[in-house]
């Protein structure tokens, strides 16, 4: 089992460019989450999904979109990147009755 994987690991964008971050899990989890982590701010929830085809906004959704077309994948899109979106992005997943959220290794994104 690979657990939760994230692609890419690192990325540098110019302001205004777009990109998609991919999260994949092989644990058949229903619930998936995208967080951003900035120094001194902890983990803040961007969007989440409670099942295939459903998504919902978290605490800091502005500037991001998500899609969950397949149960195992959760995509995070930046349509027009801004320097304020420079961050480390973590994906996590869990299932009903499971206490833990399982995190991917993270994607370090820099927007110039």
Partner 1 sequence: QQPVQSPQAVILREGEDAVINCSSSKALYSVHWYRQKHGEAPVFLMILLKGGEQKGHDKISASFNEKKQQSSLYLTASQLSYSGTYFCGTETSGGSNYKLTFGKGTLLTVNP
Apex 78 CA angle, 86 and 94, nearest 5: 85
Q: What gap in Å lies between CA 70 and CA 105, rounded to an integer?
A: 21
Q: Does 96 bind partner 1 (CB under 8 A)?
A: yes
Q: Does 104 bind partner 1 (CB under 8 A)?
A: yes
The minimum distance between CB 17 and partner 1, in angstroms, equals 26
**Binding characters for partner 1, 50-69, by CB under 8 A (x = yes):** x-----x-xx----------
DSSP 3-state percent helix, strand, coil across the chain (nearest 5): 5, 55, 40
- Taking contact as CB under 8 A, which single stretch among the options 13-21, 65-73, 78-86, 103-111 is the one that binds partner 1? 103-111
Q: Residues 31, 95: contact at Cβ < 8 Å?
A: yes
The minimum distance between CB 111 and partner 1, in angstroms, equals 21
Apex 78 CA angle, 76 and 80, nearest 5: 175
Q: Which residues would be at the binding site for partner 1 (CB under 8 A)?
A: 31, 33, 35, 40-45, 48, 50, 56, 58-59, 90, 94, 96, 99-106
């Amino acid at each position: 089992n690979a657990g939760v994987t994230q692609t890419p690991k690192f990325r540098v964008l110019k302001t205004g460019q777009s990109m998609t971050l991919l999260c994949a899990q092989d644990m058949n989890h229903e619930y998936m989450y995208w967080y951003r982590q900035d120094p001194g701010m902890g983990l803040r929830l961007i969007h989440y999904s409670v099942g295939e085809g459903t998504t919902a906004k978290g605490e800091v959704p502005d500037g991001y979109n998500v899609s969950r077309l397949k149960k195992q994948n959760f995509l995070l899109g930046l349509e027009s990147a801004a320097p304020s979106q420079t961050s480390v992005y973590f994906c996590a997943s869990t299932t009903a009755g499971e206490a833990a959220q399982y995190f991917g290794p993270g994607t370090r994104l820099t927007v110039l």
